[in-house]
Chain A
């Protein structure tokens, strides 16, 4: 904790948000709100086939439709057509990796590799006309057999997504710690299971969109993009168009939810819309519609695990072996981030001395896989927590007891896991104290009371109630770095600019709190700007639960340096030693002598002289730009518990109680943190029961709308989510914070599976998959009954 935090009045408080009045009154700019004179509208023709050779695309009729200004295919792009950059290369530290990079292309040239693969773009006077023109385009497809099933895709005679590769294997990675085989020999119990996890969508309420405007006279390109990473987008667009980075300004205004897919970069639309705008010298807008979002925006979660755990009679884990297939879809631009996260998180919160983990990434004719809130972590947690539950059952042990016995003890931090994680460094858990989280969650859910009294009583009444309680960890605050610039203005207000974007996490408030405490100003007098490359152009973006940790610490650092400058200058002006000065109410004053004061605004003017000279080695103004790059990830953790009731006839599951004990280190704004946890939990509930992207054997997505892809509604959520906070500050950054954005999404499927299994204990089922549905539950129960007979 910083000194300012110890004495400050904002950090740690439930400060209501600075940005809300604009958002609540419809006065906040989202990308589709951008309206420019002479603006054109784009619509994309997307492949109807999951796998097909494209023999020809006839756009002649479309070009003659009144109101259509241009129609482009891959051919029309000429030299501008090229596959995008590999956004995340494979980690060099892991030996023996096989990796085939196949990055996203702006439009299809030879083969469509998933439904939704873009074939052509129409630019017209209105979106209505552009969509009409899509129907004029005639595509000569040669349909090919599609690969959809992960195992079938790796069979020797499987159709190839890439003809220049000799299989659909995109990557192969093996990592080891200790010696699992030897550990297995020592075990009293070995449990082996196949666990299957299926795809879900991020489904932010705002679909993606890009508006690009080229000013030929000033040679400036302005792009509004629903992106979580405006700076890399700017760099990518500049590189593609052969412009200087300073000729391109990318603005990520208010974004209606990110959740991962909006971090994906150089997506076809992000490349084509700016290109078209420059070519046509008119602004071009493209806004995705919901069906496009389902088939053309990235998604995640598909994996098949063959997991094995070796434990002693006392429930101590001797080793874990996890061999899995990971579905990357038709391209793999995001490298191995998701499956590496799965590898890291299959260890969950436990001291696992021996670990063998191997994954194969498979190309399939489905939409591209890149991180969605959780980014591979939920799958890892699901595997370990399920295996522990099975081991506990086998040993006749209480499920919380087995966890307790295996937790990494509080004095073992920083705990080194040996395996390499998605940040290309050794997976090291920086700090934590797991037992108190378990105790807290158990108390909150009333664990013993439920098992000993409530459950037996309700069961006697014929009701099927169950409890699920699981542990999880989350690596957060990944590097490389973020930056921020803090400036005291002549008005006395403070401006903060950082390169990350905001999609509802409250940066405009949490960062303001940090600065307000450092400089002694009112939090409402701190104006935060995010996501505008013209104002800040070094950084990566908002993802992987790192905004508060990385950008927040950069803000803190910059604010702290401004504070130093303030004190230094004020000391001269007020003729008092620095130690006697205090910053409060927008002023610097001598403690105990309030008349000896100067407002920050006046001080800022003095720091920027119009006459005289600025001393060498110093800068004008009260401003500082600083960067923060964490060495490794800060590890957040928690325990989730829920009570469910299952209706054995309809197989509908009602979550009656849901609690979470969570530790994200130093909390900047508990109100915002709670909100992030609520959101993550609701996505987790979706991933457990309501949401599943259903592809048929031809790679057709059968539920590309909210009618059939079910997001949890208010009536699907439990009546109350209880959150218990714990704080184990991270030693990796001055504020001691850890991330929390994805937290809720990680443990819910595992807890849900355990709870439903518990509720249907009399059927003796085992739940080894997620998401579930009433149909699937029914099938699982029937299979269990059939096996008994």
Chain B
């Protein structure tokens, strides 16, 4: 599965670079992360609960950062394994100074998925990974802004990352957006509250 995209951070490249190397910030960026520890200069290890449609479970993973050219680019090698299956991938990240105080992050990667995760269907996998990536980056950006504001005001950072429920609802909304046409928008409320696949199946079972 290929993953690529762009995202604009409200900060300089140096600020973004620091942010994405901070394990505390990273672990809050993706709710479901149970632990994330930096074990060496370039290696992180952690555990995360993942949910893709009907498949969920805990993943144990490792991230290795390499080819660092601060504050321009780096390569990430990710490996994760758990009850839901395994994932292995590489990604390249580029940070571009937009000249107006913002940074454009460009990322592209390739992930191999196996086990239960691989068999739920590529439609769900793609949507969920895009959604999770976007969510994570948005959260990082919010954390960045909170950090900058706190610094400017000379106080501690006050920032609450989104809860797992809010996160799941957001992913569910994204999935609903892909599955349902605009006429059925009212249904997404039900979808967002329940886990996505339960709701879809329930809806299908009540065909009139």
Shortest beta-carbon distance from A148 to chain B in Å: 13
A707 adjacent to chain B (CB < 8 Å): yes
A708 to chain B, nearest CB (A): 5
A216 to B160, CA, bound (A): 62
- The answer to whether A295 and B119 touch across the interface, beta carbons within 8 angstroms, is yes
In the docked arrangement, what's the CA distance between A707 and B115, Å?
17
Query: Would you call B116 and A702 a contact (CB within 8 A)?
Result: no
Name the interface size band of chain B. Answer: 10 to 19
B114 in contact with A698 (CB, 8 Å): yes
Tell me which residues across on chain B come within 8 A of A135, comparing CB atoms: 57-58, 82-83
- Per-residue CB proximity of A41-52 to B under 8 Å, as 1/0? 000000011100
Q: Does A303 contact B (CB under 8 A)?
A: no
Q: How far is the CA of A48 from the CA of B82 in the complex (A)?
A: 10
In the complex, chain B residues whose CB is within 8 Å of the CB of A627: none
Give 15 A-B pairs besides A700-B115, A702-B121, A705-B121 with Cβ atoms closer than 8 angstroms: A48-B85, A48-B114, A49-B86, A50-B114, A115-B114, A135-B58, A291-B116, A295-B119, A696-B118, A698-B112, A701-B119, A702-B118, A703-B119, A703-B121, A707-B120
List 6 A–B pairs whose Cβ atoms lie within 8 Å, in order of A's numbering.
A48-B86, A135-B57, A701-B118, A702-B118, A704-B119, A708-B121
Q: Among residues 119 to 175 in chain B, which have CB atoms less than 8 Å away from a CB atom of chain A?
A: 119-122
B96 interface residue per 8 A CB criterion: no
Contact of B119 among A50, A294, A698 (CB under 8 A): A294
Encoded as 1 (CB less than 8 Å from any A CB) or 0, chain B from 39 to 67 comes to 00000000000000000011000000000
CB-CB nearest in chain A for B53 = A707
Docked CA distance A696–B118 (Å): 10
| B119 contact set on A, CB distance < 8 A | 291, 294-295, 700-705
- In the complex, the chain A residue whose C-beta lies closest to that of B54 is A705
Nearest 10 pairs of A and B residues by beta carbon: A48-B115, A704-B119, A135-B83, A700-B118, A708-B121, A700-B114, A48-B114, A48-B85, A701-B119, A707-B121
**Nearest residue in B to A50 (C-beta to C-beta)?**
B114
A134 within 8 A of B: yes
Give the complex CA separation of A331 and B57 in angstroms.
Answer: 31
Q: State the A residues within 8 Å of B (CB).
A: 48-50, 115, 134-135, 291, 294-295, 696, 698, 700-705, 707-708
**Bound CA–CA A284/B122 (angstroms):** 36
B8 CB within 8 Å of chain A: no
Q: Does B113 contact A (CB under 8 A)?
A: yes
Are B115 and A705 in contact, CB atoms less than 8 angstroms apart?
Answer: no
Does A702 contact B122, Cβ atoms closer than 8 Å?
yes
Closest chain A residue to B1 by CB distance?
Answer: A696
Residue of B57, B58, B86, B120 touching A705 (CB-CB under 8 A): B120
Residue of B nearest to A694 (CB): B122
Contact A134 to B121, CB < 8 A, known contacts A48-B114, A115-B114, A700-B113: no
Q: Whole-angstrom distance from the CB of A774 to the nearest CB of chain B?
A: 15
Distance, CA A705 to CA B121, complexed state (A): 8
Q: When the two chains form their complex, are residues A134 and B118 in contact, meaning their CB atoms are under 8 A apart?
A: no
Residue among A49, A134, A696, A707 facing the most chain B CB atoms (10 A cut-off): A707
Q: What A residues does B120 contact at CB under 8 A?
A: 705, 707
For the complex, give the distance between the alpha carbons of A728 and B89 in Å. Answer: 62
Q: What residues on B are CB-neighbors of A696 within 8 Å?
A: 118
Expressed in whole angstroms, the Cα–Cα distance for A48 and B86 within the complex equals: 8
Complex CA distance for A123 and B115, rounded to whole angstroms: 22
Q: How far is the CB of A299 from the nearest CB of chain B, in Å?
A: 14
Does the CB pair A134–B114 fall under 8 Å?
Answer: no
User: Complex Cα distance A295/B120, Å?
Assistant: 13
Within the complex, the shortest CB–CB distance from B37 to chain A, in Å, comes to 19
Contacts of A50 in B (CB 8 A): 114
Bound: A696/B58 CA distance, A: 24
Quick check: A49 and B121 within 8 Å, CB to CB?
Answer: no
Q: Is A115 in contact with B83, judged by CB distance below 8 angstroms?
A: no
Q: How far is the CA of A135 from the CA of B85 in the complex (A)?
A: 10
How distant is the Cα of A701 from the Cα of B113 in the complex, in angstroms? 10
Shortest Cβ distance from B200 into chain A, in angstroms? 9
Identity of the chain A residue whose Cβ is nearest the Cβ of B60 in the assembled complex: A138
Q: Min CB distance, B193 to chain A, in Å?
A: 21
CA distance A701 to B57 in the complex (A): 20
* Chain B residue with the shortest CB-CB distance to A139: B81
The residue on A at minimum CB distance from B124 is: A707
